[in-house]
Chain A
Amino acid sequence: MSKTYYDPADLRKFGNITEWSEELGNKFFEYYGKVFEEGALTAREKSLIALAVAHTEQCPYCIDAYSKDTLQRGVTKEEMMEAIHVGAAIKSGATLVHGVQMMNKVNKLDG
């Protein structure tokens, strides 16, 4: 057994999930592939979004995959870090905006 929960080599086995549920697995990969095709957004832009989301989701496999993918698309380190800050800003903003809910509740209970 692996000594850690995450093994980087497992990323190469991602495709194997279809073995235990072929139809759903194939549908997922078909959808996934389609999402990342060039569209209204460029594949480069999509890769940067994926990198930011990989961090907010804290998925180490996704971080490995999209660090490499953005590099392959010529993205610079500065652009990568800015994308992560966008993710971090939304994540912290999402936490803080719930402060309004807390304030509403406190005001109602203890106005």
Chain B
Amino acid sequence: MAVKSLKKQGSDLAQSNKQLEILSNGIFQTGELPTFKNKISESNQFPLKAKKLEILQINVGYMCNQVCDHCHVDAGPDRKEIMTRDTMRQCLEVIKNSGAHTLDLTGGAPEMNPDFRWFVEEAAKVGIKDFIVRSNLTIIRANKKYYDLPEFFKKHNVHVVSSMPHWTRGKTDKQRGDGVFDKSIKALQELNAVGYGMPNSDFRLDLVYNPSGAFLPGDQAAMEKDFKKALLEDFNIQFHNLFAITNLPIARFLDYLIASENYEDYMYSLVEAYNPAAVKNVMCTNTLSISWDGYLFDCDFNQMLELPVNSKVKHISEYNEELLEGRDIVISQHCYGCTAGAGSSCQGNTIPADA
């Protein structure tokens, strides 16, 4: 369990260029990995092109009450980057004028942004179909001022998507910190109590599973079944869907892979699991990621690697749908993470189970 962010530790890996250098050149004892560019070229999918914008993913700040081992954002209590209300206003203008049907708030812990509630209230007025808040759950139990979040979410019909590494205490606390499991269970019970996650409820509660170590996620449908059975039997907790997400080799997960001497094997695992069919629906093609200071990226991972969109438009204040649509998506070796197996995105698999 990391006690500080890489940035606070002064680690080399806090610099995006250092991470990109490792991803591009590798640190392999034997052989080389094929480039992602060449791999997708084999199935005539290069360059990846942005389609019509459907999802606006806004990172409202890197501040978090947790310091999880695998955080690709390198978030934590010591990270002060936070979106201002002015930048939120610029985002709201785009939400009003774009065709995006989904708004996806992430962080850090998005709830820690002082203007979080204001933003939710304002954004809820503009007719977004699916309003997602990515909650780490423990924030609901972190401080009295957050205790009413379940009711607040319900009032604004927020779709809650919560991280839950495993249905057992040991695996969850190992990845996310001591005591996280118990607080998460309590928070889930409170969400259930106001109607979230119940079988016929409109108040959506989905869980996100990402592996606790240097291995890929298993079958999403089978994992969902196991999570549902265990959480119901052990804690009387219900939820709607489980999204299985592959850990991408950046930031703290990259640091962990290198320190544990798993980097090489993990990258081979990703390449071996590469699935050309998963490329078609990777999230970067219909999503735009906006950083805390308003800059535009193809996805949250590119944001952390400081790989901006390939467009004249770089900032939310200059947003222009015509100029952004059809742009070439910026790729690197980390993109193997989204195309392994059944594919991985913030909404889980990119290939439906019945496909």
Contacts and interface: CB of A to CB of B under 8 A. Distances in A.
Interface stretch (A55-63, A70-78, A101-109): A70-78
Contacts of A73: 218-219, 222-223
Interface in B1-38: 30
Interface residues of B, number: 20
B218 A72 contact: yes
A32 to B, nearest CB: 16
Interface in A1-36: 9, 12
B226 A72 contact: no
A49 interface: no
Interface string B145-182: 00000000000000000000011101100000000000
A43 B225 CA distance: 13
Interface string B218-253: 110011001100000000000000000000000000
Contacts of B61: none
Tell me if B's interface is mostly helix, strand, loop or mixed. Answer: loop
B108 interface: no
B268 A12 contact: yes
A42 B168 CA distance: 20
Contacts of B337: none
Given A9-B30, A43-B219, A44-B226, A71 B213 contact: yes
B122 to A, nearest CB: 39
B168 A44 contact: no
A43 B220 CA distance: 12
A43 B222 contact: yes
B352 to A, nearest CB: 17
B215 A71 contact: yes
Contact of B222 (A42, A68, A76): A42
B217 interface: yes
A43 B226 CA distance: 12
Most buried by A among B213, B218, B272: B218
B324 interface: no
Contact of A68 (B30, B171, B215, B226): B215
B129 to A, nearest CB: 32
B348 interface: no
Contacts of A9: 30
A41 to B, nearest CB: 12
Nearest to B31: A9
B211 interface: yes
Nearest to B264: A9
Given A9-B30, A12-B268, A12-B272, A72 B215 contact: yes
Most buried by B among A12, A38, A43, A72: A72
Contacts of A76: 166, 168, 170-171
B194 to A, nearest CB: 28
A9 B223 CA distance: 29
B263 to A, nearest CB: 14
A72 B272 CA distance: 15
Contacts of B223: 73-74
Contacts of A68: 215
A33 to B, nearest CB: 14
Contacts of B217: 72
A25 B185 CA distance: 48
A84 B168 CA distance: 20
B216 A72 contact: yes
Contact of B218 (A12, A74, A77): A74
Most buried by B among A12, A38, A71, A77: A71
Nearest to A64: B265
Interface in A65-107: 68, 71-74, 76-77
Nearest to B219: A43
A76 B165 CA distance: 12
Given A44-B222, A73-B219, A74-B166, 9 more contacts: A38-B222, A42-B222, A71-B211, A72-B215, A73-B222, A73-B223, A74-B218, A74-B226, A76-B170
The 10 closest A-B pairs by CB, nearest first: A72-B218, A73-B218, A71-B215, A72-B215, A68-B215, A74-B226, A74-B223, A76-B168, A72-B216, A74-B218
15 contacts: A12-B268, A42-B222, A43-B219, A43-B222, A44-B218, A44-B226, A71-B211, A71-B213, A72-B211, A72-B215, A72-B217, A74-B223, A74-B226, A76-B166, A76-B168
